[in-house]
Structures are given as structure tokens and as C-alpha cells.
Structure 1
């Protein structure tokens, strides 16, 4: 015997098999119906017919396919990225198109994603831009019989503000081979994990680190800038920046000069020693070599150079005097 299934009031909820056959000698047969996404959940009256006559009925309750929209964490430091997840109440029979949007231009999400057949979860990237004040943004993932959004699912994500840069301070000048300390200050305390500030210098005469991190809960951080040995004065502009803006400070890099060169004692006899004292204009940040020469090496033989260690401003060297026949 052959039977057919249908809804008493057609709603497009079901896809019924063309027929159900009860084999000879059997008392039952099976047929499988699939359920479509529908706009109106509720009860549906199903009729079983044989040769056009209704022989049985049953009520089936259709539930709405619900979902939840969540993220890796309920909040994120703006300027970073996270992952969003749509969880459906049950697996889908075939690939389901899901549209996604957000009410804030500081958040970028894909326009659409698909829940694959047999699955109930889909994930998608969430990329944010830096904001100056904390805010909550809403995202919607929606789907339906034609992908137009009969079933919107809403999720909220908290964007935490990135502290902006208040100031950058550096000494106005530095001698070549010297080091100076700069300070970056924020308008608000650094967030969890610290706030990274990018650094750059406009001139190779002054080198700065690529970045400095203001520790969590702090308002400022320091960094060291190192000057190169220059033949003539150079001007460098140091810039501190983060996604919300930047600020700059100028530094003049001066040639490193010798401010003092003395010999002690100034009068000496042969076969004794004298001490040379060299002083620079500033403390040096790196080992600095000063070249030495003697006008008469036969009387006073000096080393080719003397090194002033990093962190020092001067150096001394003791040299022996040779034997001389006459006083010079």
C-alpha cells in the first residue's frame, strides 16, 4: 500500500517524501521528512492519505532555531582582534548562510559566514580599531529562510580605550657618543598588559628603541636614546606614536670635543714618567677612542690612542720618557 504525507495548511515547513510504501506482508513503512527554517514556530497538523483520503493525522511542534553570539572574552583592548562564535540550538541539515553586522565603524567583521551541514557552530574574526573611551558595541548574526534575517542573534563586546600620548620629553641637546633619557607620558593609566608606544628618529645621528612599554597602571615610561659621533651638528626629531596619535620632540646632536688635555708634570727628567689627562665635553655613552700623537717620538713616545670608557668623561695614560742628551 502507498501513502502520502502533507500539511493540512501548507506553510513550507516540511519536505515530505513523494510517498511511503508499506510492503506486502508488513504492517508499517517509513518515510523521512526534513524541516526548513520557518518564520513562525508552532504546531503543524500533518495528514496521512491513502488514495486521496485522510486516514490519520498528527500534530508536530516546530521550534525556532535559536542561537547565541559570544566572543573569546566579553571585553578587548581596542586596536586588537578577537574571535566571535555563533552557537545554534541544533545542527543544520544543509549549509546555512549567516549575515553579520556591527553598529560601530571601529569594528570590522565579515559580511557573511556559513554554518556547514551537520554543524551548529561557526566562528569569525573580529578586528577593532583603537578608541579613546570605553564603549560597548553590538553585533548581529542573523539568518532565515532566505538569509534576510528572520532570526537575529545579538551579542555585545566591550571595547577598552587605548590611552593616548600626553607628552614626550627629551633633553634639548646631546654630544656625539652620548646617551640621553626620554620620557613618554600617557593621558590615562596603561591597561592590562601595558601600553606599547612606538618610537622613531628622523636622523641616524640619534638612535631610539623601536618601542617602549608603559607598565600596567602606570602613566609614563622612560627610554634611552644614543647619539652617534658626528662631524657637524645634526638635528633629530623623535616621535612617539600609538593608534590614537603621536607627538614629537627635537634634539640637537653636537660634535664631541676635547675640552682639556694636560701633561703632569709639565717638567720632567729622562727615564721618568709623565701622565696625560684627556677630558671630553660630556660623559660618553659608548667607549670612545681619542687619538694621540707626539711632536718628537724620540723623546716622548705616546700610544696611538686612549679609550674613554662608556659612562666616563675622561681618561689618563702614563708614558715613560726616554734618555735624552740635552734638555728640550
Structure 2
């Protein structure tokens, strides 16, 4: 007798932070503030880089794409998280869950590729300044950015497709605040061994390789910085690169601890805490660290503020004159 390979479960229930009911209001406030700051900060970066011609260089093009990505990356997760915290909605349909999973993997992988490219860009700028204009021309930068996005699009297909082919015929409660890979595989009533191993290999290929390339780039950058004769220049550059590396390490470290462990299973509560870092915290930290510690970008922001104040002043003076 032929058994139809059809998923019985038509929707999932996201349990979220149900074990911390007394903290729901506090969590909602914190996550909402972080989300609004993330959107505002990334939109400001995109606008400033677009308007200031002095920032039309590969470094800021990468930063602009990173900000654009962070807006969509955090928006894939946080709005549903906020809705769950207020009990406005905990149910998510099977198709919507698979769509969220796809965009999460696609945007997360693209961010890994972009961070690796940004580290490589800084390596060329600091370690090969004379060759940098030729090695990282605007056309080369655009091609690299397009490669990051296209590779990310392709990376998202395999996990979401394999998860969607699993059978879900038992409990439909996901002990998480979004449709993530580990809790979904644990809910499946069919064997998920092949899926688990495929996701493990993909995670190693994307996370570990990108992190290794980023780390190697910063090792060469640090070794070059140590040869700077000026103590103030050494301290400033080392501080900037150190903050970049710290944020990258937090992002990759939390992601690797979640997905590069095919046989180990952390407790659901620890998984949620770890997930908060790479879905809520780093989308805010990345643009802040990469932009506000940059002198040219801060000057461009001041210039934009002065220009905006000047426009407002002209409008006010015009009204007074007419009266």
C-alpha cells in the first residue's frame, strides 16, 4: 500500500518565551526599541551613503548593502516575535513557516558572504594601499556584491526545501520564537538524519569558511597595524578593527554554536538566548560599529544634519518675510 508523502500539520504554534510570562512586557519593550533603532540606524546609513559623493567608494557600498540586508533580516524575525510576546498571534501556517525559514537562511548566508568581502576589502585597503584602487574598483565591488546576493539566494533553497519535504504528523508546537532549523527537525515524524547532515555540511561550508576568511583577513590587518610607527594611529586603527572583529566573532560564534553540531542538542531556552544575538542584537551592532567609528561617515552625517537645518532655517525665514 502506498503511503502519501503529505504533511498532516497545516500550521505551527510558536511557543516563544512562554516560560518567562512575567517578563513578556519587558521583553516586548526591549525588542521593540532595538528593532526601531535597527531600522532607523540602517536607513540613515543608506541615505547618507547615497547622498554624499565622498562616500561613493567600495567600503561604503558594502556597508550600504549590509544595512539594506539587516533591515530585511531583522524584519523577517522580530515583528512575529513582538506579536507573539503580546499574544496577538502565535500560530503560523506551514507555508509561512517555510517562507520565513527560507528568507532567514538566505539573508543570513548573504550576510556571512558580505562580512567576508568587507574584511577582504579592508585587508586590501590597509595591506596593499597602492594596489587597492585597481584590485577593488567600483565594477569589481559591484560584481562581488552581486555574487554575495546570488550565492545567498541559492544557499537558502536547500535547507527550506529539505525541511518542507519532511513529514510533520505529530505535535505542532515549535519551542522557539521563529521557524528555525533545529526545532523543526525535532518535530518531524520522519527520519531527519539526511537533512541534518546536509544542513551540517552547508553550515560548515558557509559559516566556518566565511569566518575563517574573515579571521585571516583581520590577522593580516592586525599584523600590518602593528608596524604603524605612530602610537595614536596604532591605537585608533587597532581599536576600530578590534571592534569589527568582536562583532563578527559574536555573530559567527552564536551561529556556529547553533548549526555546526549535528549530534549535540542544546536546551530550547539556551537556543532562544543564542538566537537573540544573531537575529536581534547584531543587526543593530553591525552598522553602528562599521559606521559610527568611521571619521568620514561621521563627518557626512554632520554635513547632512547641517544641510537639513539650513533648509529648515530658510523655510522659517521665508515665512517671516512673507508676513
Bigger proportion of residues as helix: 2
Q: Per the shorter chain, which TM-score range?
A: under 0.3
TM-score (norm 1): 0.17
Q: Which has the higher strand share?
A: 1
Based on CA coordinates, which of the two structures has the bigger radius of gyration? 1
